């Protein structure tokens, strides 16, 4: 052994030393182990406490859960609709369902809904953790709301027993009641409850009523697989996936359902491939039959209200027993219905109209005109139609953004000239003419396209997208091309959207989303406020200046036919047309239009009116006036004429010299027809006063004028003196033997020599001084040329000619006055480089629509142009296209 010990005692001491040594090296491990145990114990304790606390919280939350009321579970409740004054106007859901027992529902129908809504329905106990996990993953990858995690059982509980507020307590109660429901009822009973509650349309609740309304069948066994899939796809978005209203969207959705049925083993590959080849319209009832089954008073308005409630409150109005408080004014709605279908407007065949009336200050929709001869469930031309807006878009995309961001005044000078888009394609005005330099107000009043494009370009794409977005028009920056400046939209807009956007101009720049519902009350007494929040969309100066220019458009521009006696109206017309190819291919009149708009507002109401026809049917010149007439009649009926648009402190008024560029203030001597009053953003108004029409003192008159005849040279020498200061020139005029005066010299010299004087003739001369202040009165002298003449005969001759001289002087004075008058009437300002002379030599102050200088051309075009609509944005003879090659006159 290596260790040697002399005794047991030494060995023992050595062993004890090792033992002590070991005890010094191991405590660290024990301390680490102890710390881990403490952490684990702490977590365990916290977990137990959390579990207890969670259990207590869960118990508290479910303590006041509603009971499983079989009547509520199996008998859906209808909802009541109220007008703006709280008066009941309709009941939705009542007698609009056909209850079907589960034994009468074929597997193809059940499987279609199970594959779409809850494929593991028969495997879970009310709540499906796998489905919840999948929904969380889908929401993480595709954004919140991409996929729901609720089972069919949870949907029955939520739609039958609970309010739709999104709180933790409601969700806990939903889970609790779902477990309870599964314990009390069988799977088939729960599925039966669900299939009889589903919302398909305002007139169809439950799969039985839906099959009857859309396919005309009362026995669900008569539905094909593809028809069952169509119905199963609708509840997610009943309006968008309505196969009669939107067959393309409905077919895509149906095919998704068929693929899910195939994925979960409900149909084979062969059945799937066969079903998806069938047109979604096969077996549908005719549009006329569908319209008959969905007829309802105020249907356009109520359908929009139902859609809003479903979207904002996540409820099913036809089954949840709601009280829906709307914004409808039934008097206004009754009148709109009369305008749509009565005799007050003479519509022509195939002509359609869409109309939205709302409160300018609140955005509350008072009435909707969904279309002529419209039945419940039909296409809603006030809400669903998407048409190009024509020139009604100019305040939104052109002039509004440039005022907001560049602080242009209503006087801002824009040159209306031959011009092109950035792509090089030409842009034309409706009359193919150009007015030269005009103000922004006149450009909007006369609906000129070239100035609108220039304003669009000056505003900038980003500013335009933001401005439009603030007004409820969401435009993708990548889609925004220059043709949008005059209404060449890709997807179009609806009257509802245009009314909402224009109302902000009349509401000091505040935008209120158009809405039909203010609140919803649930069957448990809770109430949900659905009123949108008012948002500042623009500066008050932008709103006011746009409004004031649009008032001019109604008073003396393209919208005069929309004037209403005693009511302040601001508004804009809009017209779109067909492409050149469409005109040739379909034989469309060149004066015909695709769409005709009028959007206007008063301090109290805003209305947007669209008129047009489907397909390649054009509006005649007379039909294009109907939109303005509809607006005029409606506003005259509902508006009491109270109120005006008040100028905010951010805007100042200034009277400027017409045609000055940059603007200068008109002086007190400026003639009234040479000045104009416009609005400026405070701080940008002109401060320099024009000197053009200031009173000026006449120049000093020349003195000592004398005339001498030199017989040797046969010439007359004139000389004179001048006592004035500064630069001066002298005009010399002569008259011979009583003839008229003619100018013979203009120079700074104080003498003149007239050669070849004729003996025996009488010469009269006038000399005037010319300075920057003007011309002096003339100095005069008379000379009779005789070779040898005594003083007496000369005096006699002079006395003899005295009367003639006075007459000649009077004529000369008249000529002088005319010269001064002509100088004073010059259209070019003396103190500014106005830049008002363009290639057409137009009058720079031409802001009242006067004709171009080329009278011959205008006379030639007179007959051609007399029927042209000054708001038809892309001339049909020279179709304009945007940078994507898209016509501004297409849908």
Q: Find the CATH number of the domain harbouring 751.
A: 2.60.40.10
- Reported in sequence order, the residue ranges of 210-256 that DSSP labels E, i.e. its strands, are none
- The number of beta carbons lying within 10 Å of the beta carbon of residue 80 is 19
Residue 834 has pLDDT above 60, yes or no: no
Averaged over 651-655, what is the pLDDT? 98
Report pLDDT for 90.
Answer: 87
Most confident segment among 1-5, 185-189, 549-553, 583-587: 549-553
Question: Read out DSSP for 24-88?
Answer: HHSHHHHHHHHHHHHHHHHHHHHHHHHHHHHHHHHHHHHHTPPP--HHHHHSPBPEEEE-TTS-E
Report pLDDT for 295.
Answer: 63
Report pLDDT for 65.
Answer: 65
Residue 657 in domain: no
Averaged over 681-698, what is the pLDDT? 88
Residue 309 has pLDDT above 50, yes or no: yes
Nearest-10 crossing angle of helices 187-195, 168-184: 120
Which pLDDT tens digit goes with each residue over 728-784? 999 999 999 989 999 999 999 999 999 999 989 999 999 999 987 778 899 999 999
Report pLDDT for 63.
Answer: 59
365: three-class secondary structure by DSSP: strand
Please give the helix or strand (H or E) that residue 209 lies within, else none.
Answer: helix 207-215
- Token reading at 812: 């000369």
Lowest mean pLDDT across 175-179, 440-444, 482-486, 631-635: 175-179
**Which one, of 684, 685, 682, 664, lies nearest residue 674 by Cα?**
664
Averaged over 163-190, what is the pLDDT? 81
Report pLDDT for 858.
Answer: 35
Report pLDDT for 314.
Answer: 83
Averaged over 547-561, what is the pLDDT? 98
Question: Catalytic: 391?
Answer: yes
Q: Nearest 5°: phi and psi at 593? A: -125, 155
Q: How many Cα atoms are found within 13 Å in the side-chain-facing hemisphere of 524?
A: 16
Residue 30 has pLDDT above 70, yes or no: no
Residue 508 in domain: no
Residue 325 has pLDDT above 50, yes or no: yes
With 0.75 as the threshold, say if the pTM is over it.
no
Displacement of CA 91 from its chain's centroid (Å) = 35
Question: Catalytic: 874?
Answer: no
Report pLDDT for 795.
Answer: 44
Residue 802 in domain: yes
**CB of 537 within 8 A of CB of 470?**
yes
Sheet-wide strand order for 605-612: 365-369, 352-359, 605-612, 595-601, 570-576
Which pLDDT tens digit goes with each residue over 227-270? 999 999 999 899 899 999 999 999 999 999 999 999 999 999 99
Average pLDDT, the chain: 83
Q: If pLDDT is split at 50, 70 and 90, which confidence band does 426 have?
A: very high
**CB of 279 within 8 A of CB of 244?**
no
CA distance 846 to 653: 21
Residue 234 in domain: yes
Residue 670 has pLDDT above 80, yes or no: yes
What's the 3-state SS for 694-749? CCCCCCCCCEEEEEEEECCCCEEEEEEECCCCCCCEEEEEEEECCCCCEEEEEECC
Averaged over 74-103, what is the pLDDT? 82
Point out the domain boundary residue: 801, 820, 839.
Answer: 820
Q: Look at the block and give the residue holding tokens 């009583």.
A: 738
**CB of 744 within 8 A of CB of 738?**
no
**Which one, of 324, 255, 308, lies nearest residue 86 by Cα?**
324
Sheet-wide strand order for 517-521: 88-92, 79-82, 323-326, 517-521, 527-529
Residue 445 in domain: no
Percent of the chain, pLDDT > 90? 62
Q: How far apart are the first and last CA of the chain?
A: 106
Which one from 108, 117, 412, 494 is the annotated catalytic residue? 117
Report pLDDT for 434.
Answer: 97
- Token reading at 330: 């039934």
Report pLDDT for 25.
Answer: 47
Tally the domains of the chain: 2
Helices (DSSP H) in 118-186: which residue ranges? 129-142, 152-161, 168-184
Question: Read out DSSP for 647-670?
Answer: PPTTEEEEEEETT-SS--BPPTTS
Averaged over 100-128, what is the pLDDT? 93
Report pLDDT for 821.
Answer: 38
- Token reading at 739: 């003839």
Percent of the chain, pLDDT > 70? 77
Domain with 280, as residue range(s), is: 72-77+98-305
Point out the domain boundary residue: 787, 820, 853.
Answer: 820
Report pLDDT for 135.
Answer: 55
Residue 798 has pLDDT above 70, yes or no: no
Q: Nearest 5°: phi and psi at 288? A: -65, -45
**Which one, of 9, 247, 204, 230, lies nearest residue 96 by Cα?**
204
Displacement of CA 872 from its chain's centroid (Å) = 18
- Choose between 430 and 30: higher pLDDT: 430
- Token reading at 632: 């005029």
Residue 684 in domain: no
Residue 553 in domain: no
CA distance 318 to 303: 11
**CB of 787 within 8 A of CB of 760?**
no
Residue 891 in domain: no
Which one from 108, 163, 391, 776 is the annotated catalytic residue? 391
Averaged over 380-387, what is the pLDDT? 95
Lowest mean pLDDT across 31-45, 89-103, 121-135, 267-281: 31-45
CA distance 742 to 232: 99
- Choose between 882 and 399: higher pLDDT: 399
Q: Is 602 exposed, middle or buried (0-12, 13-18, 19+ CB in 10 A)?
A: buried
**Which one, of 244, 245, 250, lies nearest residue 232 by Cα?**
250
CATH number at 216 reads 1.10.3810.10
489: three-class secondary structure by DSSP: coil
Q: If pLDDT is split at 50, 70 and 90, which confidence band does 287 have?
A: confident
Report pLDDT for 67.
Answer: 66
> Does the CA dihedral 323-324-327-328 come out positive or negative?
negative
CA distance 731 to 749: 10
Q: Is 103 exposed, middle or buried (0-12, 13-18, 19+ CB in 10 A)?
A: exposed
Point out the domain boundary residue: 796, 820, 844.
Answer: 820
β-strand partners of 10: none
């Amino acid at each position: 052994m290596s260790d040697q010990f002399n005794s047991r005692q030494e060995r023992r001491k050595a062993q004890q030393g090792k033992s002590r040594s070991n005890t010094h090296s191991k405590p660290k491990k024990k301390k680490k182990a102890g710390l881990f145990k403490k952490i684990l114990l702490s977590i365990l304790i916290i977990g137990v406490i959390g579990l207890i606390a969670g259990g207590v919280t869960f118990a508290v939350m479910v303590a006041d859960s509603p009971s499983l009321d079989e009547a509520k579970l199996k008998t859906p409740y209808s909802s009541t609709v109220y007008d703006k004054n709280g008066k009941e106007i309709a009941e939705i859901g009542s007698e609009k369902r056909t209850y079907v027992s589960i034994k009468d529902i074929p597997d193809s129908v059940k499987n279609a809904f199970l594959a779409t809504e809850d494929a593991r329905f028969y495997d879970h106990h009310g709540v499906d953790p796998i489905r919840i996990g999948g929904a969380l993953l889908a929401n993480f990858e595709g954004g919140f709301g991409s996929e729901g995690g609720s089972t069919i059982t949870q949907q029955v509980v939520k739609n039958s027993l609970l309010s739709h507020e999104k709180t933790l307590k409601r969700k806990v109660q939903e889970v609790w009641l779902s477990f309870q429901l599964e314990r009390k009822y069988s799977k088939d009973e729960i599925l039966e409850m669900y299939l009889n509650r589903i919302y398909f349309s305002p007139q169809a609740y439950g799969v039985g009523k839906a099959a009857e309304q859309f396919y005309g069948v009362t026995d669900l066994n008569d539905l094909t697989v593809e028809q069952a899939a169509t119905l199963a796809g609708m509840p997610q978005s009943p309006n968008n996936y309505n196969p009669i209203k939107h067959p393309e969207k409905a077919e895509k959705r149906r095919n998704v359902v068929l693929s899910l049925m195939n994925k979960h083993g409900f149909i084979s590959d062969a059945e799937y491939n066969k079903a998806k080849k069938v047109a979604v319209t096969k077996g549908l009832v005719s549009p006329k039959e569908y319209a008959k089954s969905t007829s309802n008073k105020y249907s356009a308005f109520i359908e929009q209200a139902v859609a809003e409630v479903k979207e904002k409150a996540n409820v099913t109005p036809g089954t949840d027993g709601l009280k829906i408080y709307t914004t409808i004014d039934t008097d206004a709605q009754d009148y709109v219905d009369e305008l749509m279908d009565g005799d007050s407007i003479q519509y022509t065949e195939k002509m359609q109209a869409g109309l939205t009336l709302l409160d300018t200050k609140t955005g509350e929709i008072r009435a909707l005109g969904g279309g002529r001869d419209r039945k419940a469930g039909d296409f809603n031309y006030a809400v669903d139609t998407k048409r190009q807006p024509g020139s009604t878009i100019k305040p939104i995309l052109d002039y509004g953004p440039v005022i907001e961001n560049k602080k242009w005044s209503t006087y801002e000078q824009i040159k209306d000239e031959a011009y092109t888009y950035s792509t090089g394609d030409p842009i034309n005005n409706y009359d193919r003419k150009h007015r030269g330099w005009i103000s922004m107000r006149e450009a909007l009043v006369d609906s000129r396209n070239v100035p609108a494009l220039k304003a669009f370009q000056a505003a900038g794409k980003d500013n335009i997208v933001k401005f439009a977005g603030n007004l409820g028009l969401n435009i993708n920056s990548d889609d925004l091309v220059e043709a949008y400046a005059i209404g060449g939209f890709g997807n179009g807009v609806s009257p509802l959207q245009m009314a909402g956007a224009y109302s902000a101009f009349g509401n000091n720049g505040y935008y209120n989303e158009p809405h039909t519902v203010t609140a919803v009350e649930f069957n448990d007494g809770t109430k949900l406020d659905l009123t949108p929040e008012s948002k500042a969309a623009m500066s008050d100066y932008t709103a006011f200046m746009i409004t004031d220019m649009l008032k001019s458009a109604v008073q003396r521009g393209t919208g005069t036919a929309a004037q209403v006696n005693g009511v302040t109206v601001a508004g804009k017309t809009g017209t779109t047309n067909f492409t050149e190819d469409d005109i040739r291919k379909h034989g469309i009149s060149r004066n015909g239009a695709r769409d005709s708009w009028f959007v206007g507002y008063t301090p109290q109401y805003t209305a947007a009116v669209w008129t047009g026809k489907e397909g390649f049917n054009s509006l005649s010149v007379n039909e294009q006036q109907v939109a303005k007439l509809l607006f005029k009649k409606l506003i005259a009926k509902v508006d009491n004429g109270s109120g005006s648009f008040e100028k905010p402190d951010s805007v100042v008024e200034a009277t400027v010299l017409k045609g000055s560029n940059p603007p200068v203030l008109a002086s007190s001597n400026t003639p009234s027809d040479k000045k104009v009053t416009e609005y400026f953003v405070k701080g940008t108004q002109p401060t320099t006063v024009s000197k053009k029409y200031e009173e000026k003192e006449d120049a000093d008159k020349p003195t000592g004028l004398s005339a001498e005849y030199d017989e040797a040279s046969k010439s007359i020498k004139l000389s004179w003196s001048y006592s004035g200061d500064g630069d001066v020139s002298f005009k010399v005029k002569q008259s011979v033997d009583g003839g008229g005066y003619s100018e013979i010299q203009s120079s700074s010299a104080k003498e003149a020599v007239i050669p070849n004087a004729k003996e025996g003739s009488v010469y009269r001369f006038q000399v005037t001084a010319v300075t920057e202040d003007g011309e002096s009165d003339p100095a005069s002298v008379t000379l009779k040329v005789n070779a040898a003449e005594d003083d007496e005969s000369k005096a006699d001759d002079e006395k003899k000619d005295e009367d003639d001289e006075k007459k000649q002087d009077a004529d000369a004075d008249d000529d002088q006055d005319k010269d001064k008058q002509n100088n004073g009437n010059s259209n070019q300002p003396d103190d500014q480089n106005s830049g008002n002379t363009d290639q057409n030599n137009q009058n720079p102050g031409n802001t009242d629509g006067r004709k171009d200088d080329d009278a011959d051309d205008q006379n030639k075009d007179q007959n051609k142009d007399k029927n042209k609509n000054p708001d038809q944005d892309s001339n049909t003879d020279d179709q304009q296209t945007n940078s994507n090659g898209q016509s501004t006159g297409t849908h």
